[in-house]
């Protein structure tokens, strides 16, 4: 730890980085009954903390290395940090980004003077190509997190928190991707304030640090299960150097769901009128879960808001999920009798609750199925709604945590298969770029008849599709083998109750 503290104190990040404020979150503090402060790294020149580590690494290169230029692999904030640092120092920079990187990010890096090379879809493919180019041209590779100088640069965030905070914080919450930020913060904070808890927060599907700590060694998460929503922290394996620090200096790791992250983005907007990216709001999501779990009050808590580079098109998806993440909305599938007056009786059972969404589908089986979103005040209120409907004799399915229902079915209520056709349902994710949907359909080919199709652009690097195939249980094996050849992530949803209620 002492080695890192010395390197952090000697870091030259302030040639380009700002000392960002530690801001009181008044609304969150009132709601959580704790003193919550936000470390506003979204206010850096490139709207992310990444500029600190990138500059600290590059400024330390010797003259010969500077003359050759630098290279990095990144689809987001690290790319902008490297490009900004290189431009400030008058160096050539090359950034390798996935072909599915949204154009807003590509343009931002180009506008900072870097040459952009589009290669692959996932980070590993881009990083491998960047390493090849570094060998060919002699560029210095600037790693986004697994580098001592990068970690030291990010550690200046921890140094500022220590200097700015009045008194001893109970806990500091830090988003975790590859681990560079939490390693730097933990090294500094634990050396000077060992009683302060340093808590990492990971996206539920990208919890590589939690997996490593549980196993006692670094493990690689399978790409098939990797979270792609919080793309800024979507990392399959914690860095080697960050793990050395984290295993001794990080107190625990909390995971957050997509809905919880969206709820945290809304919380940050309410308190700061700024819009954090999903990874940027991750620490706040973890802070809220920690307070709820521990039942603490009157404590001083800090959350690092790590970035604000979010695509505008993603905001509609985020806003749809924010209320769910706050447990302020419940999504239900309710079966009611298909007869005169039953719809009115159902609405009267709901009473004066605010309805956020209402979709209705006539059924041939003598019942009607309603897809309804209701505003609730807390988890207990959600349980009361379910009990109230159950007491009234309604068959109710809680779809609040059903991904297929929230991503697709809510936009499809009304369509059903014709006749006695058999159908298997699958949900896919594929790299989103111009022409991607056409390539996806071409990959499906003409061997299987498509009975249902729903695609919606969420402004992210990955497209999401729900597809029905004319096939029965006996076809499941051949169809699964066929889909594996296409190479996209997929999940079967044939047994999903939302499908049974509204689409079959």
Report how far residue 447's alpha carbon sits from residue 435's, in angstroms, rounded to the nearest whole number: 21
Is residue 319 annotated as a catalytic residue, yes or no? Answer: no
Q: How does strand 329-337 pair with strand 367-375?
A: antiparallel
Report how far residue 183's alpha carbon sits from residue 242's, in angstroms, rounded to the nearest whole number: 5
Round to the nearest angstrom and report the end-to-end CA distance of the chain: 59
- CA 448 to chain CA centroid, Å, is 33
Contacts of 443 (CB under 8 A, 6+ apart): 486, 487, 488
Query: How many residues are given for the chain?
Result: 504
Backbone angles phi, psi at 394, to 5 degrees: -90, 140
Using the CB atoms, write b or e for 328-342: b if 16+ within 10 Å.
Answer: bbbbbbbbbeeeeee
48, 93, 234, 306: which one is catalytic? 306
Is residue 306 annotated as a catalytic residue, yes or no? Answer: yes
Is the Cα torsion angle 324, 327, 328, 331 positive or negative in sign?
A: positive
- Helix or strand run (H / E) with residue 73: strand 70-73
Report how far residue 385's alpha carbon sits from residue 374's, in angstroms, rounded to the nearest whole number: 9
7, 50, 57, 288: which one is catalytic? 50
- Helix or strand run (H / E) with residue 336: strand 329-337
Report how far residue 186's alpha carbon sits from residue 158's, in angstroms, rounded to the nearest whole number: 7
43 DSSP 8-state letter: G
Q: Catalogue the active-site residues.
A: 50, 306
């Amino acid at each position: 730890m002492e080695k890192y503290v010395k390197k952090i104190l000697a870091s030259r990040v302030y040639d380009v980085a700002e000392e960002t404020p530690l801001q009181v979150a008044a609304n969150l503090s009132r709601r959580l009954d704790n003193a919550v402060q936000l470390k506003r790294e979204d206010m850096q020149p490139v709207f992310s903390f990444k500029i600190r580590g990138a500059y600290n690494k590059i400024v330390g290169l010797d003259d010969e290395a500077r003359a050759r230029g630098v290279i990095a692999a990144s689809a987001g904030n690290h790319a902008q940090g490297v490009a900004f640092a290189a431009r400030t120092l008058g160096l050539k920079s090359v950034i390798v980004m996935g072909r599915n990187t949204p154009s807003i990010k590509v343009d931002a890096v180009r506008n900072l003077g870097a040459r952009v090379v589009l290669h692959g879809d996932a980070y590993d493919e881009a990083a491998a190509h960047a390493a090849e180019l570094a060998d060919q041209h002699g560029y210095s590779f600037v790693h986004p997190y697994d580098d001592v100088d990068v970690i030291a640069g990010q550690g200046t965030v921890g140094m500022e928190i220590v200097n700015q905070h009045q008194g001893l914080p109970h806990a500091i919450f830090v988003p975790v991707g590859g681990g560079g930020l939490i390693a730097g913060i933990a090294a500094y904070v634990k050396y000077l304030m060992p009683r302060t808890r340093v808590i990492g927060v990971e996206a539920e599907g990208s919890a590589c640090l939690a997996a490593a700590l549980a196993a006692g060694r670094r493990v690689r998460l399978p790409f098939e299960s990797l979270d792609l929503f919080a793309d800024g922290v979507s990392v399959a394996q914690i860095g080697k150097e960050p793990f050395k620090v984290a295993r001794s200096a990080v107190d625990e790791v909390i995971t957050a769901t997509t809905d919880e992250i969206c709820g945290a983005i809304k919380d940050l907007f309410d308190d700061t009128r700024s819009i954090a990216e999903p990874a940027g709001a991750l620490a706040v999501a973890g802070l809220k879960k920690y307070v709820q779990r521990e039942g603490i009050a009157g404590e001083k808590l800090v959350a690092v808001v790590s970035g604000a580079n979010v695509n505008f098109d993603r905001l509609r998806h985020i806003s749809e999920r924010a209320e769910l993440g706050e447990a302020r909305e419940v999504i239900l599938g309710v079966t009611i009798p298909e007869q005169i007056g039953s719809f009115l009786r159902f609405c009267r059972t709901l009473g004066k609750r605010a309805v956020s969404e209402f979709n209705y589908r006539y059924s041939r089986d003598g019942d009607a199925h309603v897809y309804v979103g209701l505003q609730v005040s807390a988890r207990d209120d959600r349980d009361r709604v379910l009990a109230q409907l159950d007491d009234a004799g309604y068959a109710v399915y809680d779809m609040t945590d059903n991904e297929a229902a929230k991503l697709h079915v809510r936009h499809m209520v009304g369509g059903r298969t014709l006749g006695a056709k058999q159908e298997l349902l699958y949900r896919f994710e594929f790299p989103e770029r111009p022409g991607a949907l056409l390539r996806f359909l071409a990959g499906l080919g003409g061997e299987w008849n498509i009975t249902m199709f729903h695609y919606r652009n969420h402004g992210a690097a990955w497209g999401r599709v729900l597809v029905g195939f004319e096939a029965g249980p006996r076809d499941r094996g051949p169809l699964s083998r066929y889909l594996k050849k296409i190479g996209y992530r997929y999940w079967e949803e044939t047994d999903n109750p939302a499908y049974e209620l509204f689409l079959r």
